[in-house]
Structure 1
Amino acid sequence: MNMIELLKEVGRGKRGARDLNYAEAEVAAELIMTGSATPAQMGAFFTAERIKMESVDELEAFVNVCRKYSHRFPMQGGIDFAGPYDGRKSSFMATFATAFLLASNGIPVTMHGSTPLPPKWGVTLPLLLQEMGVTSADMTHETAIHAAKQTGVLFVVSEQWCAPLRELRPIREELGLRTVLNTTEKLMDYGSSPYIVFGVFHNTVFDKTAKVMQKLNYRRALIVQGSEGSEDLFIDRPTRTYLFANGEVSLQVIDPEMYGLDSVVPEHNWTPAEQLRVSEEVLQGTAPTAFSNQVLLNGAVRLFVAGRVDSIEEGLYTCKPLLENGRAWELYCHWREAMLSKEIKTGVGTSETRSRL
């Protein structure tokens, strides 16, 4: 089957189009990821899928094909933070500081992203690293693996780890639309993690996303209708989530007021510099209460998702000392030093590092 035949199926308009089965979607993904389809065909496919909306089989096929063309570095027993690659414009990126909070408790964490993409064109994780002084040329998978071995935090710039995503950027920028890749890239699982927190914008996709998680064999997954479609729970109001665990899915509304954490969020102009500054203040214990509370709540919930605690309350009791005693800040400083290192060590690390990963 070629791309023209596939386009005839998905491109018949909202009423006439049909979902591709897994095998058909796998062919489409291969043609796109290998550059065998023409730019016009790729653009037509992405647009048709945007109108029709992707099915579970189509998403699963695209994820599996994309993973095939990617580097991976297993983070044993780790958790994946899967946020929007089009970034943030109006909310604090709590997930960044939360990564070091969890890693300081011994849980390997994978964060990933790219420079800004449509439709939002917001602040993304790699822009925070640039504020730290880590240039685009320094964000190689060798550097990321070196830092992960040292600290348990794997930071992936997707277009360094998956070349097809880099090649597809011009088409995505020209279209300016959300495409099937906006979901696919968040499920690349560069760290081979059994646990994931995954951000969505609309609660209408909860059920479909949960089915995808099940097909991708995650042990536990939390689907979060978070700030700006991210995986971050709100701190000034309840957050709707779907928990996938033990083969079952349950709707859970997480209310910060139940834990004494509800806070009024101060207004900020969220540039990359501000995102990094406030994240570092949280880890140092000097940030406004709302941002510290947001990181604590997200840390506690993610400890629960990763099976390290039996409740969110227990997670909060676990997380608070890690901020107060400086362990999370110390680990962040160690990770930052490793990411800035020009001499990448190729050894397997210390016994402590091996036991963590």
Structure 2
Amino acid sequence: MDFFKYIHAVGTGPKGNRDLTLEESKDMMDQILNQSIPSEQSAAFLLGWRLKPETTTEFRGAIEACDAYIEKTTIANSLELGYPFDGKAKNPYIFPLVGKVLEESGLNLVLIGDELTPAKNGITIKDICTKIELNKNTHYFDRADFFPKMSDLTELRMKLGLRSGFNTIEKLPRVANSEYAITGVFHKPYVKKYVEIFSDRYKRFALIQGNEGTPELFSKGRLWISNGGDVDEIIVDPANYGINYTKSWDAITLEDSLNQLNNPSDEYMKLAKLNAAVYLFVTENAASIDEAWEKLN
């Protein structure tokens, strides 16, 4: 279909806008990924789509289009971690330490990274995974290798400088055919949307009120588990496990982030164990977070 029709659907204002069908969304995404249209048209659509805003059907259609271009490598007994591609700006990552804690459990962690995308301007998963030795159960996939068509759009997205629908759909490409997945979410209203978009792609899908939108718990927050049509909510408070870690509100450098991973404090290691316990629960390797915590201690 003429791509201008999609721009018209999202860019004519509240009275003239309309939602795309599933098939239209797949075609839209195909044209953007293949760069068969001018970059200006792609940018115009992404901006209008964000403002319209996007629907669950549109997201699902876009994801279906992406699936056709992703080169997958199956990793058994794995949990896919859905991180934002705009990075973390104020706190270090904790997943390398979580991987170490989980090594004897047999659970594999799957992470996806690429160059920075808008809009946080933080330290990326790629920054960490290319500068630190990961445990054998922590698997990093670079999007430039397994999904180059999306990676090739990074420059355009940086020129646009704003979040877009891509920020939502790109977190969980299911590159390792993982049966389990967890991603971070800022606000509770987004839980329902993420569940509608992603839950049927996994045996068990979870969301967590994680640090800076990541699937990493640094302070008291909520964990949501999708069970069919229902969503169970669990409050997780590090203080209940004797953890007194204080998260940062200041900007962090890559050097500082790597240093805290290479020389973790006792409290940071306790926090890593709690995150590991959450992941064991999500992947049905424990009946509860408390049970998993006891196993790890």
Matched, 1:49 2:33: no
- The partner residue of 1:271 within 253, 263, 267 is 253
- Ranges in structure 2 where 5+ consecutive residues have no aligned partner: none
* 258-267 vs 197-206, greater mean Cα deviation: 258-267
- The partner residue of 1:186 within 140, 153, 171 is 171
Distance in 2 separating the partners of 1:227 and 1:113: 17
Contact preservation (8 Å) 1:97, 1:279:
yes
Residue matched to 2:278:
301
Contact preservation (8 Å) 2:91, 2:248:
no
Which secondary structure state, in structure 2, belongs to the residue aligned with residue 45 of structure 1? Answer: helix
Residue matched to 2:127:
127
Distance in 2 separating the partners of 1:247 and 1:131: 41
- The partner residue of 1:251 within 226, 229, 233 is 233
* 64-73 vs 91-100, greater mean Cα deviation: 91-100
Residue matched to 1:326:
none
In structure 1, give the amino acid aligned to 2:208: V
In structure 2, give the amino acid aligned to 1:252: I
Shift of 1:124: 0.8
Could you list the per-position Cα deviations for residues 79-129 of structure 1 after superposition, in whole angstroms to 9, with x for gaps in the alignment? 001111100110221223223333431012211111222101110121123
Contact preservation (8 Å) 1:13, 1:51:
no
Residue matched to 2:217:
233
Matched, 1:310 2:287: yes
Contact preservation (8 Å) 1:75, 1:109:
no
Matched, 1:79 2:61: no
Shift of 1:268: 7.0
Q: CA separation of 1:41/1:191 partners in 2, compared to 1, >3 Å: closer, same or farther?
A: same
Contact preservation (8 Å) 1:263, 1:289:
no
Could you list the per-position Cα deviations for residues 295-351 of structure 1 after superposition, in whole angstroms to 9, with x for gaps in the alignment? 11111001000000111011112233xxxxxxxxxxxxxxxxxxxxxxxxxxxxxxx
Could you list the per-position Cα deviations for residues 2-55 of structure 1 after superposition, in whole angstroms to 9, with x for gaps in the alignment? 211111112222454222121111110111111112211100110011112221
Which secondary structure state, in structure 2, belongs to the residue aligned with residue 192 of structure 1? Answer: coil
Query: What RMSD in Å do the two structures reach over aligned CA positions?
Result: 2.1
TM-score by length of 2: 0.92
Distance in 2 separating the partners of 1:168 and 1:207: 28
Shift of 1:245: 2.6
Which secondary structure state, in structure 1, belongs to the residue aligned with residue 225 of structure 2? Answer: strand
Contact preservation (8 Å) 1:154, 1:191:
no
* Percent of residue pairs bearing the same amino acid type: 25
Distance in 2 separating the partners of 1:24 and 1:102: 42
Distance in 2 separating the partners of 1:7 and 1:35: 15
TM-score by length of 1: 0.78
Distance in 1 separating the partners of 2:204 and 2:153: 31
Matched, 1:160 2:145: yes
Could you list the per-position Cα deviations for residues 167-223 of structure 1 after superposition, in whole angstroms to 9, with x for gaps in the alignment? 2111101000111111222111111111111012232211111111234x2111111
Matched, 1:198 2:175: no
Which secondary structure state, in structure 2, belongs to the residue aligned with residue 6 of structure 1? Answer: helix
Distance in 2 separating the partners of 1:93 and 1:261: 17
Where is the helix percentage greater, Structure 1 or Structure 2? 1
Contact preservation (8 Å) 1:103, 1:109:
no
In structure 2, give the amino acid aligned to 1:180: G
Ranked by relative contact order (alpha carbons within 8 Å, sequence separation 6 or more), the top structure is: 1
Distance in 1 separating the partners of 2:103 and 2:255: 23
Which secondary structure state, in structure 2, belongs to the residue aligned with residue 187 of structure 1? Answer: coil
5 Å-filtered alignment, 1:75-114, equals 75-114=75-114
Contact preservation (8 Å) 1:219, 1:246:
no
In structure 2, give the amino acid aligned to 1:8: H
